[in-house]
Structures are given as C-alpha cells and as structure tokens.
Structure 1
Amino acid sequence: MPKLVRSASLTHYADVARASGLDPYRMLAEVGLPVDCLSEIDLRIPAEKVALLLELSAQRSGVETFGLRMAETRRASNLGPLALAVRDEPTLRHALNAAARYSHLQNEALFISIEEEANVAIIREELLAGEGVPVRQGAELALAVMFRLLRFFLGDEWHPKAVCFTHGAPAERTVHTRVFGPNVGFGHAFTGIVCDVKDLELPLPSADPVMVRYVHRYLGDVVNAGDLPLADEVHKLVFLLLPSGRSSIDTISRLMGMSRRTMHRHLAEEDTTFSSILDAVRGELVLRYLERRERPFSEISGLLGFSEPSAFTRWFRSRFGCSPSQFNASGQSPRARPGRKRATAASATRKDVGH
C-alpha cells in the first residue's frame, strides 16, 4: 500500500517551478499527480510521486537546490494537524516527541526520531519512500521545514551544532548556507540536525497546558481510528537499528513490547514477514550508498547490518543479479525517471555525531 502525504507538501512548488523555467502542471502530469494538489492543501497523494516530482524538477531545471527553495518561506501552518501536535507543548523535547508520534498525519513516509548521547542530541529524519525512489530533494525539503520549525519555537538566534545529509555536497552551497547557516555537512550516515541536549529542555513560548490536553485527546482519537499497521512500525525500527547490528526480530519485538511469536503472527495477518521487511529496508538503502560510489563495500556491509562483506555480496547478487562491484562498473545510476524507482535515505551511526 503506497505511503501518502498531504498535498500541502507541495506549497510553493508552482512558484519555484516557474522561476526555474518549468511548467508545473506539465511536471505534475508527467509523474501522475492531479493538478488540484497545488490548490487543495489536504489531499492525500502518494509520497513516492511527490519525491519523484521534486527530483525530476531539479534535474530538468538544473536547480540543484529545488527542494530547499520551496522550504525557504514555509510556515508552521503548512504542517496542518502536525502543527497542532507540537505548538502547545511545554519544551522542545515534548514538541519533538509529539512530532515523531504524529508525523504520519503530514507524511506517512517521514520518520522522525530523537537520539541522545552524552551532551549531544540528533533530530533525525528519514524518508522511507521505497526502493528506487529518489529522495535527495525531499530530504532537503523536509529537514529545512524542521529547521524552520525549530527557529519558529526558539528564535532566529538559535543555531544547531551541525546539519547533516547522507547525500553528497552540491556544486554550490549558497542556498544551503542561507537556509541552515554555515554548519552544513554532506556524506554523513544520517540526515538530521545535531544540537546540545540542553536545547531539548528549552521552554516553548507558545506552550499552553490546557490546549495541549485537548489536542492530545483529539489526535489520539485520530491515530487510534487510523490503526497504523505493525509492519510500518517495524520498518521504521529496522531503519533505525540496522547499522548498529541490533535489528534482529528479537530486539525489535522486545522494543515493541511483544514476543517474537506474537510479532510473527501479527505480521502474517498483514501479509508480510520480518525477513521481507528487513530485505526491503536493505534494498532501499543499498542503491543510495552505491550511487555515491564513495563508501567502501566493507562499510556499506556494516551499515546494512551484515556480519561480513561476503554475506553482503551474496545478498546483493541474489537481489540484483550481479555483485556490487559489477553494479558500480556498469555505470548504472538509479536516477529519477517516470515509472522507475530509486533508494531512500540512509540510517544513522553515532560516530557521525561529532562531524
């Protein structure tokens, strides 16, 4: 079942497309999106088509920062119900936890998590759009929206330690610096914003303890009515834990408060298995890692949770019909093309926190 996103995610798309020399309606038609998704903000449209639209628009226009330009004038209100979920929370930590819990109300393909180690916190965002789906523009757009939301809460004087992307650096960094400031890095093992842990305890000026109770009650009813599939939650946890080697079914089931047997049964009821989810996540990540052609195979093997490179090579050959080195030598590049897919965002490793 395709993951959906509110059409508000395309706010300012038409303006940026025209300024970049594109016909926005022709681009929408090419990827199969309805024209009214530019005027109606609450339509539910396929996340992978939105990601493909942004990537194609960047390629056709030659504007490498297409997604960032869409985000530069975004407001919290563009987040719809998600803005309600975070606005009245007492601290940044509470707001981010609410954003992580309710992010699917805005974008079912977006996974938000907060990781802490010593005095450093990472606000991670991962797009789980599916194997072969392009996500560079979508990832930059999503993280820029998060960054603007943090600035909305904490003021323009607030600065993170770093802003990190998994993809390579652009040819020109002017727009990235304008949006995020000077501490932007590329080629990391995660996409996210790095800040001081103490920032998470900063009070929000918009906090309203009475209103937040009503919002939680309302959104709780919405979430319960939606009955989120277990497979989606397992997918997210595998993404998060894969590079640490802790993405086994025993670990995942324990984190979700159930036995291994219970998880097997519930996943079977959703017509899937843990192994197929693990394989799908690896498939989402590996093409992105290989596309940059910078990481050694031994490192990619570890990031995908394999105990040794030979196991990674066997898995890759069984899935793609050739070895990783043959894939690279062939010059294949899973670029955006209508009807074709590409890999999604990579997962984090804590060693990147200090970069």
Structure 2
Amino acid sequence: MLGHTHSFLTLRDNYLILDDMSVIRSAGLRGFRATVAELGGNAEEFAAAAGLPIAALDADDLLVSDEAMALTLEIAADRMHRPDLGLRIGARQDLSMLGPLALAIRNSPTLADALECTSRYLFVHARSLSLTLEPDPYGDRAVTALHYGVRAGLPSLVQGTDLGLAFLHRTLLRLVDGPYGLRSVELPYHPPAPRAIYEEFFGAPVRFDRPVAMLRVPGSLATRAVPGGDEHLNRLAIAFLAEQAADAGGSLVPQVRAAVEQLLATGTPDIAAVARLMTLHPRTLQRRLAAEHTGFATILDEVRRAEARRYLTTTDLPMSQIASLLGLSEQSTFTRSCQRWWDTTPSAVRRDHARARP
C-alpha cells in the first residue's frame, strides 16, 4: 500500500481535503450506492466529482485514494442535503468489509483479542485509519475509550468519521449479540445533523467538539467472550494477516502464497479454502491472479516445492510424513512431484544435501 508522506492541505470545490493520502480498500464504500439511490441521488455523479473510480462503487478490493473516498461522502451529503449520510451507510455495512481481518475478529476468544487484532491490522484495510484503547478522558476508571480516527495531522471529515464510528458501534453490537453498555460518543466536530439523530442511532449521549472521535465503553467489555469463535481459524487468519502486512506491494501473489502456507499442513488447500481465508469469491481470486499472469495451481505447486526442499534438507522426517505435510494423499505422489521439480527422487535430494554439508 502507498503510505502518507506529507500533510499539505488544499481546498478543492469548497471541500477541505488532503493531498497524497494513502489508499483504502473500496469495501469502505459498501452500501453507498444503495443508500444514495434511496435518497434520490446519483452515486456515480458524486464519485466522478471526487475523482473516485466508478468501479469502486461496486467492488470491494480496489485500492483507491482515501482522499477521494472521503470527499465522495462529503459531496454526496452536501448535494443531497443529508447530513446523516455517514450514519445511514454505516447501518448497511457489516464486518465482512474488512476482508481477512474480519475472519480474525469473528473468531477471537474475547473482545480484548478482537480489539487488539483490529488495532494491529486495521492498516491492512486502510493505511491512515487507527483504532486504539485509551484511558477514559473524563477519568472514570471503570470506562475505556475506543479512539477511532485518522493518522495524526489528517483532518477528521464528518461523513467518513460518522461512518467509521457507526460501523464500529454496530460491529460491537453483533460481536456481543446485544447492547454492550456504550456510555457516550465523542465527536471532534459540530456536525450539521441534529444531536437527536446521533443519540437515536447510538442509543447513548453524544458530545460534540471533543478533541478526538471515540466510543466510551465499560472497561469490563474487553473480557466478554465472542460467541461462536473458532480458535484454529483465528490463528490462521492472524498468521495470514502478519504475512500480508509484511508485503508492501499491491500484488495478490504473496498473500495467496501466505494463505497456502498456513493451510497446507491442515490438508489439501484448494482455491475455495484460500478464497475464504482472504474473504474473496474464488472466481474473483482466479481473475486477479490471471491478471498477474499466474494461477492458483502454479502458486500451490511453488509453495509445495519450497516446503518439500525445506523438509528434505532440514529434517529427518519420513517421506510419508512430508507428503502429508504437503497436502499430498500418497507418498508416490510426492515422489512424482520431486521428479518433476528436480528430475530426481526425494531420497536423492536429502542425500545430496547431506553430502554437500561440511
């Protein structure tokens, strides 16, 4: 992903925006088109005015300028005279828009684990956004503040911040399957929408013109279990996110390779399993890999070859066990693969490596 390099502010079409901002997954606009249509607006017109690719309105995995996305929301709210647009869109969104991060969150043991994971890996979804747990600004030791916002030095635009807080609020409701004890909502501006609209949406007091955007929640909330979590899926998703975070480029190949590596020892990783871990449709995954002039079968074969050499040269594991770790059903399949990769047998690869060592 591209990083934010400076905070030079400009004024375009009477909207305060930021030059050279980072990118964000277009999933952040999920629900925008439908909401605008309900309100009688033209989503494509607003996107074009902000310089946002029209394709971003209907796809989750485009990397777009978060400047353009934030500006699209501001333009739409202003031209339709709907100051609560961010809240309306937030009511349509769900956790799946966060991609692989959603899988880790849903399968966290507790809310503390879910929030820690979100804090660590939210930048995979949007480089400039952050979520941190902080002491209560009013000194209440029984309260924790969830500080949501953009990186220091960036402006907190109304609709984007409203949308983010609305999404966070609804996600917490779903994770604990009901009210979670929200104490108050803090907003770093005086929005054009009436306070009553905010308080009806959040079901809690809302304070304007505060230093930062945050939700004040009970400190005990972090200890609550996330119902229906799967520890194994949580570990796989976090391992994949760690690999994905290490990849600074926009290529999908390293992410698919990381997913295959995580799933390999659990059985034969097919494209459906990898697509699920990446929260993509299998056909979307195939199409994006084809655009990078490769395919899932090629990546799987490359990972197996690398893992096979590692097992053969660094362990004394039996050939049958190595075959199993590679997701191969039979040792004979492993032997044929070695013949194709190196024109020799797995035993010969191990023997030749041993002879070459000092």
Q: Any idea what the Cα deviations from partners look like across 1:145-185, whole Å, max 9, x if unmatched?
A: 11111001112232311111111154423432332113222
Q: Where does residue 138 of structure 1 map in the other structure?
A: 160
Superposition pairs of residues 257-336 of structure 1, within 5 angstroms: none
CA contact (8 A) 2:104 2:233 kept: no
Instruction: Report deviation, 1:211.
Output: 1.7
Q: Distance in 2 between matches of 1:90 and 1:145?
A: 21
Letter in 2 for 1:125: Y
Inter-CA distance 129–41: structure 2 relative to 1 (3 Å threshold): farther
Distance 1:160 1:49, change over 3 A: same
1:75-126 alpha-carbon deviations (Å, 9 max, x no partner): 1112212212311111111110100111012221211111135222101011
Q: Which residue of 1 aligns with 2:181?
A: 159
User: In structure 2, what is the Cα distance between the partners aligned to 1:50 and 1:129?
Assistant: 19
- Taking the aligned partners of 2:188 and 2:244, their CA distance within structure 1 comes to 33
Q: What fraction of aligned residue pairs are identical, expressed as a percent?
A: 27
Question: Displacement, 1:65?
Answer: 0.6
Give the counterpart of 2:133 among 98, 105, 114.
Answer: 114
* CA distance in structure 2 between the aligned counterparts of 1:5 and 1:130, rounded to whole angstroms: 18
Question: C-alpha distance in 2, partners of 1:222/1:166?
Answer: 32
Contact persistence 1:127–1:135 (CA under 8 A): no
Match of 1:123 in 2: 146
Q: CA RMSD in A?
A: 2.1
1:15 corresponding residue in structure 2: 34
Alignment of 1:1-355 (within 5 A): 1=3, 2-116=21-135, 118-128=141-151, 135-226=157-248
The letter for the 2-side match of 1:94 is D
Matching residue of 1:297:
none
Q: Report how many aligned residue pairs link the two structures.
A: 227
> 2-side partners of 1:134 and 1:63: how far apart?
18
Instruction: Show CA shifts across 1:186-237 (max 9, x none).
Output: 111121110111111111113222221111211111112238xxxxxxxxxx
**Residue 57 of structure 1, CA deviation:** 1.1
Unaligned runs of 5+ in 1: 228-355
CA contact (8 A) 2:182 2:204 kept: no
Q: TM-score, normalised by structure 2?
A: 0.60
Task: Find the counterpart in structure 2 of residue 334 from structure 1.
Answer: none
**2:185·2:204 contact (CA, 8 Å) conserved in 1?**
no
Contact kept? 1:89, 1:212, Cα under 8 Å: yes
Unaligned runs of 5+ in 2: 4-20, 250-358
Distance 1:187 1:119, change over 3 A: same
Q: Separation in 1 of the partners of 2:167 and 2:238?
A: 22
CA distance in 2, matches of 1:64, 1:172: 9
Asked which structure has the greater RCO (Cα within 8 Å, sep 6+), the reply is 1
Which has the greater radius of gyration? 2
Equivalent residues of 2:186, 2:213 under 8 A apart: yes
Q: Give the TM-score normalised by structure 1.
A: 0.60
Instruction: Assess if the C-alpha contact under 8 Å between 1:33 and 1:49 holds in 2.
Output: yes
Structure 2: distance between partners of 1:74 and 1:18: 16
CA contact (8 A) 1:100 1:112 kept: yes
